[in-house]
């Protein structure tokens, strides 16, 4: 008898919606990926240089090194940044210091050649181990 009372009570609290009606559900995503990178700049303040990364929503953030970027970027972000840098400079090494470093680091990450002396040296370097670990996490 109690089960019937509980069932009746529960049914009275529920509203049955037929399949024909469209139902809108307000969902809040648990995690939101930041918008894609659309541009980058080198910002110099005195002797210090920063990489300014500009996203599709207009927000931007400055990083003083590639290591800082790796800590907050996903693999898609790095690939997008490499495409933007490559579109601006192609395969010609830039003359500017910070641009040359960014271009070289990204080229090594995405288009490495085991025969390159630089690549072999980086294999022994903690930086490459750290970058590889960050990329594998994603």
Instruction: Specify which residues 37 forms β-bridges with.
Output: 55
Number of folded domains in the chain? 1
Q: Are 35 and 57 in contact (CB under 8 A)?
A: yes
Residue with tokens 């109690």: 2
Burial of 84 (0-12, 13-18, 19+ CB in 10 A): middle
pLDDT at 61: 92
**Does 29 fall in a domain?**
no
> Do the domain assignments include residue 56?
yes
pLDDT of residue 24: 66
Residue 15 in domain: no
Inside any domain, residue 19: no
Q: What is the pTM of this model?
A: 0.54
In the prediction, which pLDDT does 36 show? Answer: 87
| 95 falls within a domain | yes
- For the chain, the distance separating the N- and C-terminal CA atoms, rounded to the nearest angstrom, is 55
pLDDT in tens, the chain (138 residues): 456 777 777 777 776 666 665 666 666 665 566 778 899 888 888 888 888 999 988 889 999 888 888 888 888 888 888 888 888 887 777 777 777 778 777 777 777 665 666 656 656 666 667 767 777 776
Q: What domain range includes position 92?
A: 36-137
Q: Is residue 60 part of a domain?
A: yes
Query: Does 7 fall in a domain?
Result: no
Structural domain includes residue 58: yes
């Amino acid at each position: 008898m109690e089960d019937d009372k509980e069932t009746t009570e529960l049914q009275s609290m529920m509203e049955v919606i037929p399949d024909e009606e469209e139902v809108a559900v307000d969902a809040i995503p648990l995690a939101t990926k930041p918008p894609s990178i659309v541009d980058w700049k080198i910002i110099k303040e005195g002797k210090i240089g920063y990489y300014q990364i500009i996203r599709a929503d207009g927000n931007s953030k400055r990083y003083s090194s590639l290591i800082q970027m790796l800590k907050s970027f996903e693999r898609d972000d790095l690939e997008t940044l490499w495409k933007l840098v490559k579109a601006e400079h192609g395969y010609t090494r830039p003359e500017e210091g910070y641009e040359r470093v960014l271009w070289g680091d990204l080229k090594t990450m995405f288009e490495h050649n085991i025969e390159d002396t630089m690549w072999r040296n980086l294999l022994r370097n903690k930086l490459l181990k750290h970058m590889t670990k960050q990329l594998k996490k994603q």
